[in-house]
Each structure stands twice: as structure tokens, then as C-alpha cells.
């Protein structure tokens, strides 16, 4: 398996290895080690094209990827399956923002240190113009893969990390108070080209 955007902590590489998979993580910020390449998957195209991957895993990275179409063409050529854990910042509406920022303040007041931003306006001014919206990314994915899984899921609890953040967020989404910001997506590609016989990764 290939994990793109595994991050500084190595993402799912070690858990997947523990589950019996042969995995390579690619990220300019990847940890050091044999199971990681410290570069972008676009830069590593030639090396990755030789490997014969069974699946690509992408955790919170596809919404950053540029140029989107060429990069997805490359991923679809590398493995017949793509599994993505995604985030649609464009779905953060005023109700979601109010709830998130209120929860953030409450957790801080209780001595916790949420990993997300304290102000979504500040966060948007720094990031949002550079992120693909869910409609753009989903259209690009569906143009290259047959959709197997598409599920909207809570996301803000991952920034808050409070003991009941996930349950609260899920129940507010179910009640229609604000939209789900996260989504899980998987698709199969018929355009995978294997330059070597199916290998271990």
C-alpha cells in the first residue's frame, strides 16, 4: 500500500504494517526510515510507478493537492484502489463555526489544548483559498474512479479532542444543526498501469 501525505508522525503506515500490509508512506514531512519517502508523490512518480501498489491511502491530503487533475491521474495509474479521509472546509457554515468556537473556548477554559485553530475566520484567511472544495474534489475523483464508498462524517471533534466532542458533533449533525464537514471516500480505478508484475506493496 502507498500512503500519501502520511505527515510527520507517519500516519497509518505503522498501524497498517502491524495489520500485515507492506506499506510505503510518502510526504515531504515524513519521518525518517525505510518505510518512508520524504518528498511529494508527484516528485517520486518514477519510483512509485515501479512498485505495483494494491491501494493508495490519502488522509486529509487530497484537498491540498496541485495540480489536481494530473495528480489524480497519477494516483489512478499507481493503484486500482484509492481510500480517502477528507475534509470540506467549504461546508463550515455559521452554525458549525459557532458551535466549534464555543466548544474550543470551553475546552480551553477547562485546561485542555485542542489541536485545531481557535478562530475559524483566521484559519480561513490563511488556508481556504488554497484548498479544493468537496464538489471540485469529488467530481475529479468520480471522473477517474468508480465510487465504492462515500460517507459524510463528523470532523470538528478531531480538532477539539474533547471527551464528548464526537458524540455531540454527531448528534448536532443528525439534528440538522449544521452539516458534516468530513467525508470518507473510496473508489476503484480501471486506468491503473503496472510497469512491474504485482509486487508486495
Ligand X SMILES: C[S@@+](CC[C@H](N)C(=O)[O-])C[C@H]1O[C@@H](n2cnc3c(N)ncnc32)[C@H](O)[C@@H]1O
Burial label, 120 (beta-carbon count in 10 A; 0-12, 13-18, 19+): buried
First to last CA, the chain: 5
- For residue 31, state whether it binds ligand X (rule: CB under 6 A): no
Choose which of 22, 54, 64, 150 interacts with ligand X (CB under 6 A): 64
Closest approach, Cβ 171 to ligand X, in A, equals 24
Helix (H, G, I), strand (E, B) or coil at 36: strand
Interacting span for ligand X (CB under 6 A) from 57-65, 88-96, 138-146, 188-196: 57-65
Choose which of 21, 22, 40, 117 interacts with ligand X (CB under 6 A): 40
Size of the site for ligand X (CB under 6 A): 17
- For residue 116, state whether it binds ligand X (rule: CB under 6 A): no
Interacting span for ligand X (CB under 6 A) from 20-28, 124-132, 144-152, 181-189: 20-28
Identify which of residues 8 and 142 has a Cβ nearer to ligand X in the complex: 8
State how beta strands 81-87 and 24-26 pair.
unpaired
Choose which of 21, 31, 54, 60 interacts with ligand X (CB under 6 A): 60
CA–CA gap between residue 37 and residue 164 (Å, rounded): 36
- For residue 102, state whether it binds ligand X (rule: CB under 6 A): no
Closest approach, Cβ 61 to ligand X, in A, equals 4
CA of 157: how far to CAs of 111, 119, 126, 171, in Å? 17, 15, 21, 12
Nearest by Cα to 195 from 29, 45, 23: 45
- For residue 140, state whether it binds ligand X (rule: CB under 6 A): no
Amino acid at each position: 500500500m502507498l500512503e500519501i501525505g502520511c505527515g510527520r508522525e507517519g500516519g497509518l503506515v505503522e498501524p497498517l504494517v502491524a495489520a500485515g500490509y507492506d506499506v510505503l508512506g510518502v510526504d515531504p514531512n515524513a519521518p525518517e526510515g525505510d518505510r518512508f519517502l520524504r518528498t511529494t508523490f508527484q516528485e517520486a512518480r518514477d519510483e512509485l510507478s515501479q512498485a505495483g501498489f494494491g491501494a493508495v491511502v490519502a488522509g486529509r491530503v487530497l484537498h491540498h493537492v496541485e495540480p489536481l487533475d494530473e495528480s489524480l491521474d497519477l494516483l489512478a495509474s499507481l493503484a486500482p484502489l484509492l481510500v480517502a479521509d477528507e475534509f470540506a472546509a467549504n461546508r463550515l457554515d455559521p452554525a458549525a463555526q459557532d458551535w466549534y468556537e464555543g466548544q474550543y473556548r470551553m475546552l480551553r477554559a477547562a485546561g485542555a489544548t485542542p489541536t485545531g485553530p481557535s478562530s475559524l475566520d483566521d484559519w480561513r484567511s490563511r488556508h481556504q483559498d488554497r484548498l479544493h472544495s468537496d464538489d471540485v474534489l469529488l467530481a475529479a475523483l468520480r471522473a477517474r474512479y468508480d465510487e465504492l464508498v462515500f460517507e459524510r462524517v463528523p470532523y470538528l471533534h478531531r480538532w477539539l479532542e474533547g471527551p464528548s466532542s464526537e458524540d455531540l458533533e454527531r448528534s448536532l449533525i443528525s439534528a440538522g444543526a449544521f452539516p458534516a464537514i468530513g467525508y470518507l471516500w473510496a473508489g476503484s480505478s480501471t486506468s491503473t498501469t503496472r510497469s512491474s508484475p504485482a509486487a508486495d506493496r
